[in-house]
């Protein structure tokens, strides 16, 4: 679905083969675990078996005595951080917390918390040595539930955490708390809004901690060279933020650390924080040899950042003709061991799809004895979308209103003010609902159940994510054979080498195949922020367009020199330069002659001055529920999403489908399953049940294009918002099928059956 | 992983003597789909690993007048690829089709599944339903044990020191019989049974009355269970939905499941009733020569 006045592009909107495709399908691509360096040692971690304990003593003597062991480290070997906060690209970070998460200081705060590490001649010796490290713990009671952790008498995780007020009244108590932040946003008058409503619905929701489930575990290989220079080879979403975190944790200048980003097997927000490099670095410093440190899948589950579990209360007021008059939300997020959950973003997202005159949102960032949470695809938005989108469905049911019409009537549009203040620019919420309404899926009747024990239902839901701009750098060099080498700093997770190359190709009027993109290390390109926030195709794209514009200007000048005419009489257009008297030289031909007229031509582009306008999506799903077992099958799924301008439609569709599949997993079966002592009982892919290809149908995609005026080609980020609506859409479909409202994620067979039996 | 010795004998007697000499400090390796992971995680640290894949007796897959012989190391894919098994011992093919994915099915064996002695082993209820017997070889006399008596506790079985499982022997299939195994898992593939049910049904010539039946239950007790009373009570009954539902209700009464990350005890009890009903209906349909509407994973 394109807007009528879409410009005519030559490269944008086509589907060339991705530049990194052959390496990846043939297994040539180099991932962190593939790396082998001369003299390389292998390291293993000792991790806490307890969710909450004080470390009394660490005895490494037996491990150090094992033949083949080269070095042992614990927190005492790491540089001390003191009481300081450092700006790490995505806000100020408490360095003491970051350091303690990398290697526990006096306390362990979750099972799997790293306590010590060993480097040895091979991984088997390292693992045996890790078993020989004796850690004496004083076990403390764990706090595993967000509401329990908020109680005044709850065990305290961090003595240095006080409640910070953000919009909320300041706490008058200067004492440690598990509540790290209390947020409040208000707009209009709630009393007035609810007084105007004909129907008021108030509901409570719980969601469980879930993991991104990227296929490649974290890894790092580090060489602390004799000249004091530290090189890190790793899987990361942001080589520059990894460099800065590593440097700060080691208390080195950033220029002493080089991060070489290897290919990355998924991140979804989970590969921004640094876990392994500082530990491997100190082991390397002690031994003078490169040290490789890998996580197992269980390590990844237990000790990297999942997305928070939550408790949410939501109240909605609606008039009988379907206008939302007021909305109130109370949102508490599990930050995990240290503060920093995305509850602030959740508070901004919860009502963002709708134009609501009177609204309030209260949010809490709460420490619990689980791994420190991190970003996961539209962090915070999926949890709150589950709440608002199912309450809207319930309001439509009570008032006998059509859910699509209801969304159209209340949709946010250009000029709508969010509860946290900002006004939207040109956005495509309305267009995504209209696209679903017009879809073959929505127009088709609900499929018949496959047996008398089964029932089918259809549901819909919408979602919002901001998308960010941030900073990127691109360097483009014209080659003598008429191609361009493009160097960028954005690690490529979703095919962005190609989507960036295509924007450069479009701007220069050449073929995508004639651009050769490379992701450089931190010394090969200018500063570039993380691959996250759905920002790369937008922001690194802008940098590429600007690099291409510089090339155009320089090439026009070189053609003028070639023709011996004044610079202002030549113009770069349509893939070449035109001059006076009908002179014309194509890009390729000019490239061959550059050595005669001034030599190399390089264009640079940077970005950082633009923010994105926001992304919306609306989804429709058909489910079949087995009424005897509570098991849900997804029969059909359609997603409509505003991509602004789809640069490479296949990758846009891939992001939409991938987000939906992760949302389906979150909806139906994924959860951190803890026992009473705080041990995760399902820390493997066998028992942490992500969907397989047997669990999802082909996800039908509808790309809506409402160009974002902040980007030269109208790009909107597409990576995150597709994960937001699925749990709500599926819950709404389950309700239509069997008449029960699910308000707890995941909606696993036992939970759904229990609810059906009760009903 | 710790350091260990590895041996791959070519004769059954060599395997038995290696096993006997190891003083309980050896593990047998067939497909390794359980053992390798157990060694990787440190649950088992055997000094000696004896690879049994080179033993001809353990790779035997043949029919004779005694019935069907399945060597203990015969891989899952060989079992479901064998047309006579798919037709007459269908529950075995059903089970082998849903143990892991294709790669696992190319390595894993029913014998290994049984010797690992997990309560949720998928092939064990199928073997019990089809009346399988374990042929056990050791330093002493070769002996036979019904499959339902093989497991004694989670991870434990009747094998004495120096003994190994050579094959599973299934009696010939009677006329008008059919069998089925299915499990409930939250996903549609790649999972461990929350509950698994195997059943075999033999009908009278009228194909309306049950002549005999065997029902077996997985993941609902410390060991896979043969539901003896439930099975015997089916003999002589009409093969109707009411009969199957009543059998399901009876089966619920004999299980003692646990709460864990794969399901609650209450849920497992409930599902036992649902699956027994559904599996008996499917086995009966097969006994009548009908094709059943069953898609692995869709319970």
What is the pLDDT at residue A270?
97
- How close does chain A come to B184, measured CA to CA in Å? 8
Q: Which chain B residues have a beta carbon less than 8 Å from that of A692?
A: 187-190
A673, closest residue in chain B (CA to CA) = B261
Which among A582, A578, A605, A607 has a CA at the least distance from the CA of A590? A578
Confidence (pTM):
0.97
Q: Which chain B residues have a beta carbon less than 8 Å from that of A682?
A: 261
Tell me the sheet residues that pair with A618.
Answer: A462, A640
Instruction: For the beta carbon of residue A265, count every other beta carbon within 10 angstroms.
Output: 18
Chain A interface test: which of B38, B104, B186 (most A C-beta within 10 Å): B186
Q: Name the CATH topology of B5-51.
A: 3.30.43
Tell me how many degrees the CA angle A618-A620-A621 measures, rounded to the nearest 5.
145
Chain B interface test: which of A124, A131, A749, A758 (most B C-beta within 10 Å): A749
Here the tokens at position A189 are 């008058």
Instruction: For the beta carbon of residue A387, count every other beta carbon within 10 angstroms.
Output: 25
User: Domain A21-28+469-607's class?
Assistant: alpha beta
Here the tokens at position B66 are 């005694």
**pLDDT tens digits for A113-133?**
999 999 999 999 999 999 999
Average pLDDT over residues B42-48: 95
Here the tokens at position A267 are 């991140």
Burial per residue of B219-236, b for 16 or more beta-carbon CB atoms within 10 angstroms, e otherwise: bbbbbbbbbeebbebbee
**pLDDT tens digits for B190-246?**
899 999 999 999 999 999 999 999 999 999 999 999 999 999 999 999 999 999 999
Average pLDDT over residues A690-703: 96
Measured distance CA(A674)–CA(A668) in Å, rounded: 17
Which stretches of chain B sit within 8 Å of chain A by CB?
A: 1-3, 42, 184, 186-192, 194, 260-264, 267, 270-271, 274, 293, 297-299
Distances in Å between the Cα of A48 and the Cα atoms of A133, A650, A675, B61 are 12, 43, 16, 48
Across the interface, do B299 and A687 touch by the CB < 8 Å criterion?
A: no
**pLDDT tens digits for A602-655?**
999 999 999 999 999 999 999 999 999 999 999 999 999 999 999 999 999 999
CATH 3.40.720.10 is right for the domain spanning B56-170: no
Measured distance CA(B94)–CA(B117) in Å, rounded: 19
Chain A interface test: which of B98, B187, B297 (most A C-beta within 10 Å): B187
* Per-domain boundaries in chain A: 21-28+469-607, 425-465+612-759
The CATH code of domain A425-465+612-759 reads 3.30.365.10
Across the interface, do B42 and A131 touch by the CB < 8 Å criterion?
A: yes
* Residues in CB range of A458: below 8 A, 6 or more apart: A446, A620, A621, A622, A623, A733, A736
Strands (E), A599-725: 602-607, 615-626, 632-642, 699-704
What is the pLDDT at residue A357?
98
Q: Which chain B residues have a beta carbon less than 8 Å from that of A127?
A: 1
CB of B117 closer than 8 Å to CB of B157: yes
Average pLDDT over residues B141-153: 98
**pLDDT tens digits for A376-425?**
999 999 999 999 999 999 999 999 999 999 999 999 999 999 999 999 99
- Among B194, B267, B297, the residue with its CB nearest the CB of A694 is B297
Q: Is the dihedral of CA A517, A520, A525, A529 positive or negative?
A: positive
User: Domain B177-287's class?
Assistant: alpha beta
**pLDDT tens digits for A328-373?**
999 999 999 999 999 999 999 999 999 999 999 999 999 999 999 9
Strands (E), A121-270: 134-139, 164-166, 179-187, 199-207, 219-224, 230-234, 257-261
Average pLDDT over residues A194-204: 98
B45, closest residue in chain A (CA to CA) = A128
Measured distance CA(A433)–CA(B89) in Å, rounded: 52
Across the interface, do A687 and B262 touch by the CB < 8 Å criterion?
A: yes
* Per-domain boundaries in chain B: 5-51, 56-170, 177-287
Residue contacts between A and B (CB atoms, under 8 Å): 60
H-type alpha helices, A176-326: 190-195, 239-250, 277-287, 297-303
**A691 touches B at CB < 8 Å:** yes
| Per-residue DSSP letter, A508 | H
**A753 touches B at CB < 8 Å:** yes
Across the interface, do B271 and A629 touch by the CB < 8 Å criterion?
A: yes
Average pLDDT, chain A: 97
The ipTM is 0.95
The tokens 């035997």 sit on which residue? Answer: B60
Identify the band that residue B299 occupies on the pLDDT scale cut at 50, 70 and 90.
low
Measured distance CA(A647)–CA(A185) in Å, rounded: 36
3-class DSSP state for residue B236? coil
* Intrachain domains B5-51 and B56-170 with the same fold: no
Here the tokens at position B286 are 């097969």
Here the tokens at position A557 are 């000048």
* Intrachain domains A21-28+469-607 and A425-465+612-759 with the same fold: yes
């Amino acid at each position: 679905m394109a807007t009528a006045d879409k410009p005519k592009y030559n490269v944008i909107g086509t589907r060339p083969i991705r530049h990194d495709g052959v390496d990846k399908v043939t297994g040539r691509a180099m991932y962190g675990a593939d790396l082998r360096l001369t003299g390389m040692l292998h390291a293993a971690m000792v991790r806490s078996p307890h969710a909450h304990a004080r470390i009394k003593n660490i005895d490494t003597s037996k491990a150090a005595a094992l033949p083949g062991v080269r070095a042992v480290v614990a927190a005492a070997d790491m540089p001390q951080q003191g009481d300081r906060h450092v700006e790490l690209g995505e806000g100020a970070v408490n360095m003491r917390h970051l350091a303690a998460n990398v290697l526990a200081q006096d306390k362990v705060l979750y099972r799997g918390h790293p306590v010590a590490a060993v480097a040895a001649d091979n991984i088997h010796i390292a693992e045996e040595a890790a078993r020989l490290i004796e850690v004496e713990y004083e076990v403390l009671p764990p706090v595993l539930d967000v509401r329990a952790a908020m109680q005044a008498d709850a065990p305290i995780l961090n003595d240095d955490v006080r409640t910070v007020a953000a919009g909320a009244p300041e706490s008058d108590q200067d004492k440690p708390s598990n509540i790290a932040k209390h947020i409040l946003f208000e707009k209009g008058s709630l009393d007035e809004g609810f007084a105007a409503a004909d129907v008021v619905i108030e509901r409570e929701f719980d969601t469980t901690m879930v993991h991104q489930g990227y296929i490649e575990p974290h890894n790092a290989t580090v060489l602390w060279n004799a000249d004091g220079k530290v090189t890190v080879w790793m899987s990361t979403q942001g080589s520059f933020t990894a460099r800065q975190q590593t440097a700060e944790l080691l208390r080195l200048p950033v220029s002493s650390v080089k991060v070489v980003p290897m290919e990355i097997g998924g991140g979804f927000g989970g590969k921004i924080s640094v876990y392994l490099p500082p530990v491997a670095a100190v082991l390397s410093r002690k031994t003078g040899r490169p040290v490789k440190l890998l996580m197992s899948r269980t390590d990844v589950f237990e000790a990297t950042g999942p997305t928070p579990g939550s408790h949410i209360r939501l109240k909605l007021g609606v008039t009988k003709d379907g206008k939302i008059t007021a909305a109130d939300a109370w949102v508490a997020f599990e930050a995990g061991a240290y503060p920093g959950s995305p509850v602030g973003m959740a508070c901004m997202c919860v009502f963002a799809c709708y134009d609501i005159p009177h609204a309030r949102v209260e949010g809490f960032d709460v420490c619990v004895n689980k791994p420190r949470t991190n970003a996961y695809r539209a962090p915070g938005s999926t949890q709150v979308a589950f709440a608002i989108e199912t309450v809207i469905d319930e309001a439509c049911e009570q008032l006998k209103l059509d859910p699509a019409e209801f969304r159209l009537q209340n949709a946010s549009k250009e000029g709508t003010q969010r509860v946290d203040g900002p006004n939207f620019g040109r956005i495509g919420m309305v267009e995504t609902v209209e696209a679903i309404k017009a879809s073959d899926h929505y127009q088709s009747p609900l499929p018949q159940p496959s047996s008398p024990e089964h029932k089918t239902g259809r549901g819909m839901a919408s979602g919002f994510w901001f998308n960010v701009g941030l900073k990127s750098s691109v360097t483009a060099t014209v080659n003598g054979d008429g191609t361009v080498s493009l160097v960028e700093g954005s690690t490529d997770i979703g095919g962005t080498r190609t989507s960036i190359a295509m924007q450069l190709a479009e701007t220069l009027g050449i073929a995508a195949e004639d651009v050769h993109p490379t992701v450089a290390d931190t010394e090969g390109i200018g500063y570039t922020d993380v691959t996250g926030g759905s920002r790369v195709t937008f922001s690194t794209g802008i940098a590429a367009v600007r690099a291409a514009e510089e090339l155009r200007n320089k090439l026009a000048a070189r053609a003028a020199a070639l023709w011996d005419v004044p610079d202002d009489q030549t113009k770069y257009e349509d893939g070449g330069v035109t001059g006076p008297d009908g002179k014309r030289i194509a890009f390729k031909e000019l490239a061959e002659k550059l050595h005669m007229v001034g030599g190399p031509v390089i264009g640079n582009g940077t970005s950082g001055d633009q923010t994105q306008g926001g992304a919306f999506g609306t989804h429709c799903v058909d489910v079949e529920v087995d009424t005897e077992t509570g098991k849900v099958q997804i029969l059909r799924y359609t997603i409509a999403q505003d991509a602004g301008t789809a640069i490479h439609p296949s990758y846009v569709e891939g992001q939409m489908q991938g987000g939906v599949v992760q949302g389906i997993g979150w909806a139906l079966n994924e959860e951190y399953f803890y026992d009473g002592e705080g041990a995760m009982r399902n820390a493997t892919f066998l028992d942490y049940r992500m969907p397989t290809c047997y669990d999802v149908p082909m996800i039908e995609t509808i790309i809506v294009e409402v160009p974002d005026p902040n980007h030269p080609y109208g790009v909107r980020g597409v990576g995150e918002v597709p994960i937001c609506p699925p749990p709500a859409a599926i819950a709404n479909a389950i309700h239509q099928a069997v008449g029960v409202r699910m308000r707890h994620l995941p909606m696993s067979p036992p939970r759904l059956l229990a609810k059906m039996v009760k009903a | 992983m710790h350091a260990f010795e590895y041996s791959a004998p070519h004769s059954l007697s060599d395997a038995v003597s290696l096993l006997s000499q190891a003083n309980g400090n050896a593990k047998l390796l067939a497909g390794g789909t359980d053992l390798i992971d157990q060694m990787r995680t440190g649950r088992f640290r055997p000094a000696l690993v004896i690879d049994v894949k080179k033993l001809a007796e353990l790779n035997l897959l043949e029919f004779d007048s005694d019935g069907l012989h399945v060597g203990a190391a015969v891989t899952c894919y060989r079992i479901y690829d064998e047309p006579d098994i798919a037709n007459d011992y269908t529950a075995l093919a059903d089970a082998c089709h849903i143990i892991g994915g294709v790669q696992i099915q190319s390595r894993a064996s029913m014998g290994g599944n049984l010797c690992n002695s997990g309560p949720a082993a998928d092939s064990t209820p199928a073997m019990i339903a089809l009346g399988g017997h374990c042929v056990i070889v050791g330093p002493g006399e070769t002996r036979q044990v019904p499959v339902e008596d093989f497991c004694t506790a989670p991870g434990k079985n009747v094998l004495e020191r120096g003994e190994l499982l050579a094959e599973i022997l299934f009696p010939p299939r009677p006329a008008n019989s059919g069998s089925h195994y299915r499990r409930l898992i939250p996903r549609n593939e790649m999972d461990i049974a929350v509950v698994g049910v195997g059943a075999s049904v033999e009908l009278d010539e009228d194909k309306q009355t049950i002549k005999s039946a065997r029902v077996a239950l997985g993941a609902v007790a410390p060991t896979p269970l043969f539901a003896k009373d439930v099975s015997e009570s089916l003999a002589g009954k009409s093969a109707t939905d009411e009969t199957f539902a009543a059998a399901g209700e009876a089966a619920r009464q004999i299980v003692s499941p646990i709460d864990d990350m794969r399901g609650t005890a209450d849920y497992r009890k409930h599902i036992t009733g649902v699956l027994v009903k559904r599996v008996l209906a499917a086995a009966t349909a097969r006994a009548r020569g009908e094709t059943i509407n069953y898609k692995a994973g869709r319970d």
